[in-house]
Structure 1
Amino acid sequence: MDTAPNPARPADGHLTITPSILYFGTPVVLLTTENADGTVNLAPISSAWALGQTVVLGLGAQGQTGANLAVRPEMVISLPEPRQWPAVEHLGGLTGRPEAAGHGPRRARYEPDKFRATGFRAQASHTVRPPRVAECPIQLEARAARVATAAAGDFLIVEARVLKVHADPRLVVPGTQHIDPAAWSPLIYNFRHYFGLGPELGRSGVSETPCTSRPVSAVPGR
């Protein structure tokens, strides 16, 4: 009897691989910052996560966004919907820094007015100078508390303190300060492909909003 291991199924059940990127399902945000001449830069960011009232962002070290935040820490973090992915993808091929044009995997094109180029509209903020993206259902006015170089040296890690949150009324649970998770679907960047959310599976034990679907049974042994 042949007992040789199946190459499609390693003995320990997993393949050891070296992927070029680790975007294992992260939300896309659009970041507006102020240029030195008072104009605005708009950029898509695929590395963002929140803890309390702090949002941590990962940025390319050579981009206009990082250069702006190093000296002008105000920003707006706008969250697009899944249907807006074509505009987000178009935005990803533009740069607000002339010297960065033609570089990187996209060979980015210099564009000083990214709002006009992508069809997004600027909406005045309340507490910071950069504008919000009007079409985005959730917008966070924020200020960078720390901008540091990542361990590898080619990225920046930005810790941003959220100052004010704006939400489309359709996303807010009536009479509360809560976003309705059944009404909100972020644009997800999953190994360089765009996705929305699937059906709700259940909710955390600390959630303050009700579950809108029948929870899936827990995995045995977990």
Structure 2
Amino acid sequence: MKTVNLQVRINEDLKQEVSSILKAQGLSYTSMLDALFRQIIKERRIPFAIALPTTPTDKTPTPSTLNNNGTYEQPQTTLKASDTINTYGTSTTNEIEISFDKIDKTGILNIRINPKVKTLTTAILKEMGLTISLLITLISKQIQFSKAIPKSVNKPIACDSMNADFLTDEEIDQLLEMAYIDMEQGNLISAEELFEQLKREGLLL
């Protein structure tokens, strides 16, 4: 199957966390996104809801407090996004701490994708005012929030260890190396046992 490389810039911490979640399910970014793109092409919509995790009402931040006389009093505000905090101006009524944000640590997400799937997905997203980069960030955040792929998103038919079409050359080499180690250590099962296991997991009809 012919594939082309797709590079997307994404927050490195988010990328690593989502990669771990997907790996626990026997998947990778490439296989998950390939399934997502094909679903978008088929349904011509974003097949998952964009939402923040549920927050208890008592923990919901309020921008200001209403006094008894009907005026608003701005609470002490701390903008904390890094370890370096600078305090500007001090008064008897209010003190505001301002923190300078660190620049997000971004990395490159490389995936192999069918060129036709990439072209069609790009065109559909463009009509919606979206880009592939933004879509990947959105689905990554939803996976981070729920610790799983959204239920409305179709999962790949087979896990990455069974489908070389979704793997890079480096990933195939890693799997082969792991297989050689298992062979040397005698961690083997018969073909009959393997087929039964695949049937139980729904990977073989």
Q: Which has the higher contact order (CA 8 A, sep 6+)?
A: 2
TM-score, with length taken from structure 1: 0.23
Query: Which has the larger strand fraction?
Result: 1
TM-score, with length taken from structure 2: 0.25
Query: Which has the larger helix fraction?
Result: 2
